[in-house]
Amino acid sequence: MGSLATLNNDGSPYVIPVHFLYYNEAIYIHGLPKGQKVDNIGADSRVSMTVYEMESLLLDPNEEPCETNTKYESVIVSGKATLVDDQDHKKQVLAGIVKKYTPHLTQKEIPDNMVKSTAVIKIEMQNVTGKYYE
């Protein structure tokens, strides 16, 4: 999962956890077709997203708390978000999300009414940075 940041009308950030798919050089997320995330993107398409994986704690042999560290990898993306309207494109993205998170369900068809009632958001990446510690 990742954390998506959109901008509220007052300019403050709104951050929520999201499932995501990297597909065709863009990031896709999905969710309800109404709500603060969709409203914010409709008003201001600028978004930021971070994904990270904590592999392990690197404990100090002398058990000094300030010498403890974390082995991790992270990516931060900023870009522009738009709603995907094309139903075939949405279905491809949703199938990709199913394959990523629940691969044992990939043989099941996603019903057209579910595709239609799900918001699929495309994030065109403008800036990507990464960081890690080993």
C-alpha gyration radius of the chain: 18
pLDDT computed for residue 60 by the predictor: 83
Of residues 81, 79, 91, the one with CA closest to residue 118 = 91
Contact 19, 29 (CB under 8 A): yes
For 96, the 3-state DSSP assignment is helix
pLDDT computed for residue 54 by the predictor: 87
Q: Which fold has domain 2-133?
A: Pnp Oxidase; Chain A (2.30.110)
For the chain, the structural domain boundaries read 2-133
pLDDT computed for residue 80 by the predictor: 99
Q: Mean pLDDT per 10-residue run, the chain (134 residues)?
A: 97 97 97 96 98 89 85 96 97 95 92 95 98 91
pLDDT computed for residue 23 by the predictor: 95
